[in-house]
A and B are shown apart, each in its own frame.
Chain A
Amino acid sequence: MTKVFGSFVANDHIDLTIEPGEIHALLGENGAGKSTMMNVLYGLYDADGGEILIDDEPVKFAGPGDAVAAGIGMVHQHFMLVPVFTVAESVALGYEPTKNLGLLDIKEARKRVIEISSRFNFNIDPDALIEDLPVGAQQRVEIIKALSRDAEILILDEPTAVLTPQETDELISIMRQLKEQGTSIVFITHKLREVRAIADSITVIRRGKIVGEASPDSTETELASQMVGRAVSLTTEKDDADSGDATFQVRGLTVVDKAENVVVDDVSFDVRRGEILAVAGVQGNGQTELAETIIGLTEPRLGTITLDGKDLVGESVKDRLGAGIGFVPEDRSTDGIIAEFAIRENMILDVYDRQPYAKGLNLRPKVITAEAKKKVDEFDIRLGSVVDPISTLSGGNQQKVVLSRELGRELRLFIASQPTRGLDVGSIEFVHKRVIAERDAGTPCIIVSTELDEVYGLADRIAVMYSGRIVGIVGPETSREALGLMMAGVPADEALAATADSTTDATEKTQSAATAAPAADDDSATTSAEETE
């Protein structure tokens, strides 16, 4: 199969065979072409070459409808659910049971949901609104949707990206159940741990090409090396923190959004000089708002933010930048860069009006270019010319530009939200090294991340946020399952106690967390609904 976008070959003669009743993992970095391939398979894109065979019969898909009729179901990374529909309506959409006059037979639709839901113990209320459901439950609705159309091949596109560790474990057990009932599953991911836990066979994709098969028994390092194409070290090397005074303090910070929902709820913490505080949690539990409030994009309803003894609340963003805050926003493409601007212009977005870049009303292009070239060398940015628009760069290099801007001046506080989201392994390594270097230079650092690997790689202390609150601040030695429980809202001491007697082996860890979790998950399910949206 081949798929070309303009001059970019997303899939280059890919061959893939899925056996009945197997879980086949498709492993590759972001942008390797995994999702493109599955969208072709599902009829959303037209292939530019190659063919699809089901039971040795060539099939041609004009659209997703044909793929569904051929027994292919897909759970997209971004769910294909209408937020204002009920579960029954969502499952019925496109294949509606009807009575006279085209009126919906909602009873029949509800029955279908209940039938499948009870077969797999999904515990889904057919009358609940999609937007009220937590992400994990929405994903189960997507699976019900696929199964209600008799899918024999189920494609799961990055299904764990939005889940807590406990929800991930639930998903893995659902996948096992499906497999037992004869469904083939294609599992697209870049997370090595999950691949090893569940896959029967693994195909590794790099830059649109298949680079090989791997066995589920391979170690994570082996898989990662195959995925990246060179030897990589998965652990970040750093010395213990040599922390100094707590120069940055947040006290009783409460932020309310436009709809009067409390998004950051009475949060207090300190960050010391030469220390990295990682803020962990499932996406949408107030981390974004916390970071944006510190930089001044949002004003808090209550509380104080103190840097070097000065309260920042009420100060403008410009003043806060002037006070020495470096900020890497969560969404690089919309908040971190201006796509049409040149690379050198993107490097001075926050200091364009200061010495040495400006003189009076004029910019000084020569200085700007010279400084930009220095940064290009320092941050190892791969580019053609610093006057090219930044949109010509890859995600990893764009992020390096952002980092070079934010780390390129004397800082008193560094905040980065999801600094490595969507980056390849090589760039992740680089970003992590730079962050640690900044810490070692004595800057207090706050890293907001939903990836536990990143949290463990960087953190000197870990603050876990759930539903706008900091559930607890723990050390980096805290176990993965304890963090998982805290991310579902269980207080730190309970989470630590609940997981104290479990073993430390990585694969068994997930198992034990799954058994310890149900109680915690039930109450998290109801409260996290609005937050995860």
Chain B
Amino acid sequence: MTDTESEHDGQEFVRLPTGPDGRIHEDQPTRAEVLDWWSERFGIGRDFLEEFSYWEKGRGKVWAFHADTDSPVRVEGLGMSVLRTRGDHWKPTTNAVQRFGTRAEKNVIHLTREQAAAFVAGHDQEIPWDGDWGYLIATHDIAGETEPLGVGLYLHGELRSQIPKGRRRDL
């Protein structure tokens, strides 16, 4: 195995390249593409997300780390798993949306308390929405603030809850 191949083995974190020339596999996202995606999809500013270093562990699993070290590094975790980039539609994680989503300015669907409860219980719901289809940030109001709940997939008039089983609650 060459050194480059060993970086594919899914056990190491590899820092995302700054540009396309640094890719270690052809569909590896670059740091700039990740920053652009959050900005274009959700309007979350680059100035905030630029403070993080971005890493891949296994193909298409991107982590954000609010510190830095030498790449590659063989550890169990490095910051937070924030994004899946395999496939045409990149998908943010529940935890990333809860951490970064208060800064989102578009593709945010605001839910009533009743809709929010169904959403965190994992239910799909018919909800009118005249924006883009695809992955949305679902929010609701709590203690006078608007707070992100997680990721919903909007298709054909329906918001499909993407809350992982372990995070679902009957509230």
A and B interact: no
B: residues with CB less than 8 A from A are none
A: residues with CB less than 8 A from B are none
